[in-house]
Chains A and B, each alone.
Chain A
Amino acid sequence: MTSRNALIYTMLVVAAMITLGPFGLGLLTSFTSARQFNTESPLSLPNPPTLANYTALGDAGFGRAALVTALMTAVILLGQLAFSVTAAYAFARLEFPGRDTVFWVYLATLMVPATVTVVPLYLMMAEAGLRNTFWALVLPFMFGSPYAIFLLREYFRSIPADLIRAARIDGAGTLDVIVHVVLPASRSILVTLGLITVVSQWNSFMWPLVITSGSSWRVLTVATAGLQSQFDAQWTVVLAATTVAIVPLILLFSVLGRHIVRSIVVTGMK
């Protein structure tokens, strides 16, 4: 190995340690008993390791929070993909008056930042009596995402017209075309979009924070934040919470990491 390569590897490894270090520390500490943490050095290895911090999480309602988060993510994922696909198909392959105008309107909404819609959405949900309900968590997101629609439209436009024509000749209606022709041909982009959606919904914080309260519809991020104030300075429990919030995505990442990385590049550059 040349010395230059050795230098490069060193830098890469150092960067990797800086990246992983905090996660590792947090993980270790989450298995340390509170007593050990308070009396010995905070960085001492858990001796003996304990699950007490995680049990405390269970008592604090984290199980339900995980369930709510998973449910919310799943519902939004399915809804968003389904309705984005149908909309993108309409934009890509159908002709009807107003099509392009409506599409530009969709594009325009890409410029609306989330921070700006939180307060008015809160008011709207409050007026509709939907505060602190599961519906409030999913409704704003499950009807399709302009971002996904934009990307899918590009993709659908590149599906060979012959395929679709052939299906139509066989008597397929629009829904048939979508289900039997378009979907199978779009597997990779759908996985891509799906991953992006899962990541962003699982980590969503501000909206759930604002629109839910109490323990019935709390998501993991909100529960973690609440735990930090409830278990003030009891870092071992708090770090168990962050671990629970992070681990599912780490697992997803270790299995599908390559895909996620590709997703980011593919969707970002458009």
Chain B
Amino acid sequence: MARRRFRDTLTGYALLAPSLFGVAMFLLLPMLVVGWLSLQRWDLLGPIRFVGLDNWHAVLTDPTFGRSMAVTFGFIALVVPVQTVLGLVAAMLLARGLPGTGFFRTLYVLPWICSPLAIAVLWRWILSPTDGAVSTVLGHRIEWLTDPALALPLVSAVTVWTNVGYVTLFFLAGILAIPSDVDDAARIDGATAWQRFRRITLPMLRPTLFFVLVTGIASAAQVFDTVYALTGGGPDGRTDLIAHRIYAEAFGSAAVGRAAVMALVLFVLLIGVTLVQHIYFRRRVSYDLT
């Protein structure tokens, strides 16, 4: 018996070895390194110098960083509600099961499948004031991406356009999982469509809704490709999302230590969001009505 245990242990760790290496090397170790880096000053070319908490102080009082965080929050506040509502509406339409539903459902996911970078370049052309599709159709030029008031909404719109189909899938699965007897009973009792939606569908979609919100926030917080190709940070930093700021600090301004600080701040915020999700799911109440 002991031999079996020993053999199992050996086999177990042998099987784990590659992924253990990967996780330790490429996920855990970098977390330590980024913490260490946040205390150093490095411009990629010269030597790495220890500067203690200077970077932390500099970054946390830097208005550029503050602005980037504000822009990121604003972006999340624009993107997540809109894509959630649109996804829900689309799912409601598809849930009726009309013929051709499967086709539409698959079609809407197409933007999400494609490379966000390529999509951003495509939209950059469409919105281009000079030779772009929109300007041509409208007949006169609108400087979408360089207008401080329009740039962030536009970037948000492109992100929503990319994500709606994906969100729809989850809501659709959630809606279809609702047992139809509850809804039928309510209909027999004379409840209107809106009442059925508000009192039955929505509450039962709560887990899905929560999932969609949390993943939406986490992914919106890390948008990079879109900003890189569409606006490069935008007119006067109006679209300088945090992931882009980190990249620009490390590889544009060559201030790697500062970039590390920003990355850690982002990490802490995202942990907060994910922890909320985990706690929520642990306390979830099931809706078994049989």
Contact = CB atoms under 8 A, between A and B. Distances in A.
Is there any pair of Cβ atoms, one from A and one from B, under 8 angstroms apart in the complex?
A: yes
Nearest to A85: B15
A210 interface: yes
B246 A269 contact: no
A33 interface: no
Interface string B196-240: 000000000000100100010010011011001100000000000
B128 A235 contact: yes
A122 B125 CA distance: 32
Interface of A: 5, 8-9, 11-12, 15-16, 18-20, 22-23, 25-26, 29, 37-38, 41-43, 83-84, 86-87, 89-91, 94-97, 99, 102, 105-106, 109, 111-124, 139-144, 146, 149, 174, 199, 202-203, 205-206, 210, 220-221, 224-225, 228, 233, 235, 238-239, 241-242, 245-246, 249-250, 253, 257-258, 260-261, 264-265, 268-269
A15 B266 CA distance: 34
Contacts of A23: 110, 122
Contacts, number: 269
Contacts of A174: 11, 15
B41 to A, nearest CB: 13
A149 to B, nearest CB: 6
A66 to B, nearest CB: 13
6 residue pairs, one from A and one from B, having the closest CB atoms = A143-B22, A144-B19, A120-B33, A203-B115, A96-B12, A120-B30
Interface in B95-138: 96, 98, 100, 102, 104-111, 113-119, 121-126, 128, 130-133, 136-137
B117 A205 contact: yes
B42 to A, nearest CB: 8
Given A143-B23, A146-B23, A225-B229, 13 more contacts: A8-B96, A94-B12, A96-B8, A99-B12, A113-B222, A115-B242, A116-B264, A143-B21, A205-B117, A221-B117, A224-B121, A249-B113, A250-B113
Interface stretch (B55-63, B145-153, B162-170): B162-170
Contact of A242 (B106, B121, B228, B247): B121
A22 B123 CA distance: 7
Contacts of A202: 115
A225 B117 contact: yes
Given A206-B247, A249-B115, A269-B173, A119 B260 contact: yes
Interface in B1-30: 5, 8-9, 11-13, 15-16, 18-23, 25-30
Contacts of A111: 270-271, 274
B15 A94 contact: yes
Nearest to A126: B44
B40 to A, nearest CB: 10
A87 B246 CA distance: 33
A139 B122 contact: no
A114 B270 CA distance: 11
Contacts of B211: 268-269
Interface SS of A by simple majority: helix
Contacts of A203: 114-118
Contact of A113 (B107, B123, B169, B267): B267
Contacts of A8: 93, 96, 98
A100 B96 CA distance: 44
Interface SS of B by simple majority: helix
Given A42-B133, A106-B23, A124 B107 contact: no
B19 A140 contact: no
A90 B9 CA distance: 9
Interface string B239-256: 000110011001100001
The CB with the most chain B CB atoms within 10 A, among A113, A114, A140, is that of A113
Nearest to A7: B93
A169 to B, nearest CB: 14
Nearest to A82: B18
A31 B233 CA distance: 31
Contacts of B102: 258
A25 to B, nearest CB: 5
B286 to A, nearest CB: 15
The CB with the most chain A CB atoms within 10 A, among B13, B105, B215, is that of B13
B121 A116 contact: no
B13 A109 contact: no
Contacts of B125: 26, 29, 235, 238-239
Contacts of A117: 26-27, 30-31, 34
